[in-house]
Amino acid sequence: MNLIEPDGPGWETKRREALLSSIPQIKLSRIDLEWVHVLSEGWASPLRGFMREAEFLQTLHFNCLRLEDGTVVNMSVPIVLAIDDSQKQAIGENSKVTLVDDNNKPVAILSNVEIYKHNKEERIARTWGTTAKGLPYVEEAITNAGNWLIGGDLEVFEQIKYNDGLDRYRLSPSELREEFTRRNADAVFAFQLRNPVHNGHALLMTDTRQRLLDMGYKNPILLLHPLGGYTKADDVPLWWRMKQHEKVLEEGVLNPDTTVVAIFPSPMLYAGPTEVQWHAKARINAGANFYIVGRDPAGISHPTEKRDLYDAEHGKKVLSMAPGLEKLNIIPFRVAAYDKRQMKMAFFDPSRSNDFIFISGTKMRTLAKNLESPPEGFMCHGGWNVLVEYYRSLLPSEGSGLRESVPA
């Protein structure tokens, strides 16, 4: 479901309407704009705009929406737009508002609006399973947000662009489906990530393709789909991740002929089993019929205690039971680790567990920050050099950074 207005007289009319002083304006934050992007291209279909209260409540309490025809579709994360008291007063009885970006350029019209109370505590508790202080998305987008939510039908004037050199990777669901058709794919398996690709990831993806071939598929295509919206401050930024992914394909770690690399525009919530349903549902809309899921998907460390916030196995268990995801075949990770004997990433063999090293994302980032090299065979050389280049760029001057201890 595309919510972008086609060019033509109707587009011009709506654009002029959006500029009228009689229509109230809401300035979008960066994360708000990312959600407009998500909605406009149909990632959250059948949503037609920011959630009204009935959709919001169903999402919070049921993780799904019941449509008028009785169909149930998965929807596990609220896609909402917050406003404050003054904005609510300014909107008054108006049925439309104009959404503008940081430069006050009209981005969209929200019509047939409904304003309702933003119960932040309930939203946070039901989405994250805790109200502990320090949840990254909550601190960024909810804590200081307005006390009201506004929902309505969204009409977006043009495709959202970021002009960061990466827009060519931002393929919409319809564009991805066209690409899969062009490649004669008879199966599409999606891999969601927000980290650089190491050889363990690549092993999982190539193994999945072989499993699909063994099942009788002739041309399974991998959708390598890094998350491109908001991420927490210590994650590697998107531009550097995409540069690293390019090296992975250039060096043949993944086969470019059977891999489509694209950016998923959603912000990252770090909401564990609740959020992983959203990640899976969005990929269905893009044409995926297989989804790779691993340990603690969309997980995060507890913000105030020394433990993981979510059970590492719950994400894949929830996906296998989630209402509205029946069309998607869930492929659980096999556990990969660094095999010291073979000097490469391999599937973990418990019969010789002492031969394996588990290199966490934290350990990987710490090695790169210290400008050190990982064990040979952990990541392709070009990809690792990109990571080191990124962390070197953060140093005030060459060699002035403090070394961090590498986690065991």
245 and 96 fall within a common domain: no
Q: Tell me the per-residue pLDDT of 269-325, one tens digit each, with 9 for 90 and over.
A: 999 999 999 999 999 999 999 999 988 899 999 999 999 999 999 999 999 999 999
**Same domain, yes or no: 137 and 190:** no
Give Cα separations from 23 to 13, 95, 342 (angstroms). Answer: 14, 9, 66
Can you give the residue range of the structural domain that contains 364?
167-394
Residues 75 and 210 both lie in one domain = no
Residue 99 has pLDDT above 90, yes or no: yes
In a domain, 405, yes or no: no
Residue 202 lies in a domain: yes
Q: Is the domain of 151 the same as that of 173?
A: no
pLDDT tens, residue by residue, 177-187: 999 999 999 99
**Cα separation of 367 and 309, whole Å?**
24
Supply the CATH number for residue 175's domain: 3.40.50.620
> Given the structure tokens 């934050």, which residue do they identify?
29
Q: Residue 105, Cβ neighbours under 10 Å: how many?
A: 9
Residues 90 and 187 reside in one and the same domain: no
The pLDDT confidence band at residue 2, using thresholds 50, 70 and 90, is confident
pLDDT value, residue 21: 66
Cα–Cα distance, 6 to 123 (Å, whole number)? 35
> Looking at residue 128, which CATH number applies to its domain?
3.10.400.10
Phi, psi of 316 (to 5 degrees): -70, -30
pLDDT at 408 over 90: no
Tell me whether residue 5 is in a domain: no
Please report, to the nearest 10 degrees, the dihedral formed by the alpha carbons of residues 150, 152, 155, 156 taken in order.
30
Instruction: State pTM to two decimals.
Output: 0.93
In a domain, 108, yes or no: yes
92 and 220 share one domain: no
Residue 53's identity, in one-letter code, is E
Same domain, residue pair 139 and 202: no
Q: Which of 113, 133, 156 is the last residue of a domain?
A: 156
The answer to whether residues 241 and 195 touch, using CB atoms and an 8 Å cutoff, is yes
- Position 32 in a domain: yes
| Domain match, 189 and 300 both | yes
Q: Of the residues 134, 156, 178, which one is the last residue of a structural domain?
A: 156
> Which one of 90, 121, 156 terminates a domain?
156
- Which tens digits make up the pLDDT trace of 161-175? 999 999 999 999 999
Residue 312: C-alpha distances to residues 76, 117, 180, 198, 407 (Å): 19, 34, 32, 20, 19
Question: Domain count of the chain?
Answer: 2
For the beta carbon of residue 110, count every other beta carbon within 10 angstroms.
23
* Domain annotation covers residue 313: yes
In a domain, 101, yes or no: yes
Task: Summarize the confidence of residues 84-107 as an average pLDDT.
Answer: 96
Residue 205 in domain: yes
